[in-house]
């Protein structure tokens, strides 16, 4: 008799335990390194996602089409769109790659901010496209007027909230960019840090997808959902755009474990709220500590902060590394700022201790 999924999990001794699963403690690696360099969520996936992962071992022999359909349906329901308005990706990085492949070329540029999340520039250049950068404005928002004025744009990429500055581009600015962009230019809004944004001027642009055929919104399960190692993301856009992205995509690029964990995560709103609260409390503590040490930070709507070092960041990053605290890399447009991810309170205590030693 074939084993049901639940029976299989019980066979592994996890069925009953799954309901009361302990939360993963991800921070402790044998190296003792405190990793505050990649804006991951130190608390990991929701217990419901971990239970779903354990229940899914019995599915790995099969291609993941059914689970992909189920996740696409959940995402569609969440955003009030039809399932043909959703595409899943092997992380939102894959979504960025698909957008670059489908909508940039040697004659259609990528327009992006400086500094911003750079991955899409790599993908666009690999396809022969020019990547044009436009500096953020004085409040670290995207300078959308200048971005929209670049001639020959295939894609305008807006990361909101922005990595690495942690700043937002206000809702009104986003709306006017999207409403005024040439129909031949795709606007890709990367909302990887959406759940952390608390500023009332921030707003997701997902609701605009219904009326804007040149808008794509990317989301990830790597941040608030704590699944960076599983690789899961998606985009929402009008069906014709999704079809063009799908033409570029490898079949079944999201694996079955990521799919089941993503579904369970989407259903666990309480875990999202808890993650947001913990991040905010730890971030406030860190900012206050840094303030006490005389260091200003850019107001952050994300799970990382940008610290004004008032000196070159490179040596500080190296000295922190020697103390086994990994922080963000040098960002050429802001070489005197240090980006640090918000970890657990214990990790941030290690960060502050090392930082004090390094800057004193
Ligand atoms: N977009 C932004 C703004 C990011 O900061 C990151 C990762 O740090 C990604 C996309 C990639 O996320 P994923 O893990 O979903 O590929």
How many Å apart are CA 146 and CA 73, to the nearest integer? 37
Q: Is the peptide bond before 115 cis (omega within 30 degrees of 0)?
A: yes
Residue nearest to atom 2 of ligand 1 (CA): 192
Identify the three-state secondary structure at position 138: coil
CA dist 18 and 9 (Å) reads 9
Q: What is the pTM of this model?
A: 0.93
| Token representation of residue 155 | 């894609």
* pLDDT score at 31: 74
Stretch 339-354: mean pLDDT: 98
Give the burial string for 295-312 (b: 16+ CB within 10 Å, else e): bebbebbbbbbbbebeee
Please give the structure tokens belonging to residue 35: 């990793």
Give the residues across from 250 on adjacent strands.
Answer: none
Taking the C-alpha atoms of residue 206 and residue 215, their distance in angstroms, rounded to an integer, is 9
Q: Decide whether any atom of ligand 1 lies within 6 Å of the 90 Cβ.
A: no
Lowest-confidence pick of 27-36, 177-186, 218-227? 27-36
Whose CA is closest to atom 11 on ligand 1? 93
Question: Tens digits of per-residue pLDDT, 54-92?
Answer: 999 999 999 999 999 999 999 999 999 999 999 999 999
CB 192 near ligand 1, within 6 Å: yes
Token digits of residue 56:
């899914």
Nearest to 300 by CA among 124, 194, 168, 179: 168
Which letter does DSSP use for residue 170 in this model?
Answer: -
Of 147, 166, 165, nearest to 156 by C-alpha is 147
Q: How far is the CA of 294 from the centre of ligand 1 (A)?
A: 31
Residue 24 gets which letter from DSSP? P
| Rounded Cα distance, 30 and 96, in Å | 33
Cβ-contact 324, 34 below 8 angstroms: yes
Cα 115 to averaged position of ligand 1 atoms, centre (Å): 15
pLDDT value of position 28 = 55
Look at the block and give the residue holding tokens 């700022």.
337
Rounded to 5 degrees, φ, ψ at 301 are -110, 30
Q: What is the pLDDT of residues 197-239, one digit of tens each?
A: 999 999 999 999 999 999 999 999 999 999 999 999 999 999 9
230 lines ligand 1 (CB under 6 A): no
Ligand 1 atom nearest 93 alpha carbon: 16
User: How remote is the C-alpha of 289 from its chain's centroid?
Assistant: 26
């Amino acid at each position: 008799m074939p084993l049901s999924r639940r029976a299989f999990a019980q066979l592994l001794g996890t069925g009953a335990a799954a309901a009361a699963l302990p939360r993963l403690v991800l921070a402790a690696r044998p190296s003792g390194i405190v990793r505050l360099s990649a804006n991951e969520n130190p608390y990991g996936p929701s217990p419901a996602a971990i239970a779903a992962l354990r229940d899914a071992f019995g599915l790995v022999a099969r291609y993941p089409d059914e689970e992909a359909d189920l996740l696409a349906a959940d995402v569609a329901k969440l955003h009030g769109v039809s399932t043909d308005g959703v595409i899943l990706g092997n992380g939102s990085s894959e979504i960025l790659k698909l957008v670059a492949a489908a909508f940039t070329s040697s004659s259609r540029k990528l327009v992006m901010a400086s500094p911003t999340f750079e991955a899409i520039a790599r993908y666009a250049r690999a396809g022969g496209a020019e990547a044009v950068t436009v500096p953020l404005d004085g409040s670290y928002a995207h300078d959308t007027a200048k971005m929209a004025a670049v001639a020959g744009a295939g894609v305008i990429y807006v990361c909101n909230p922005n990595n690495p500055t942690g700043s937002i581009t206000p809702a009104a600015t986003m709306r006017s960019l999207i409403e005024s962009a040439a129909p031949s230019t795709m606007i890709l809004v990367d909302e990887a840090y959406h759940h952390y944004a608390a500023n009332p001027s921030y707003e997701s642009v997902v609701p605009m997808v219904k009326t804007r055929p040149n808008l794509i919104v990317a989301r990830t399960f790597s941040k608030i959902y704590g699944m960076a190692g599983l690789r899961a993301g998606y985009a929402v856009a009008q069906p014709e755009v999704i079809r063009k992205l799908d033409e570029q995509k490898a079949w079944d690029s999201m694996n079955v474990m990521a799919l089941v964990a993503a579904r369970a995560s989407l259903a666990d709103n309480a875990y999202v709220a808890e993650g947001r609260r913990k991040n905010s409390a730890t971030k406030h503590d860190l900012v206050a500590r840094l303030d006490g040490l005389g260091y200003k930070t850019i107001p952050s709507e994300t799970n990382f902060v940008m610290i004004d070092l008032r000196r070159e960041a490179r040596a500080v990053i190296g000295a922190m590394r020697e103390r086994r605290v990994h922080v963000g890399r040098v960002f050429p447009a802001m070489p005197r700022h240090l980006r640090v991810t918000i970890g657990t309170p214990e990790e941030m205590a290690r960060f502050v201790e090392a930082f004090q030693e390094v800057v004193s």
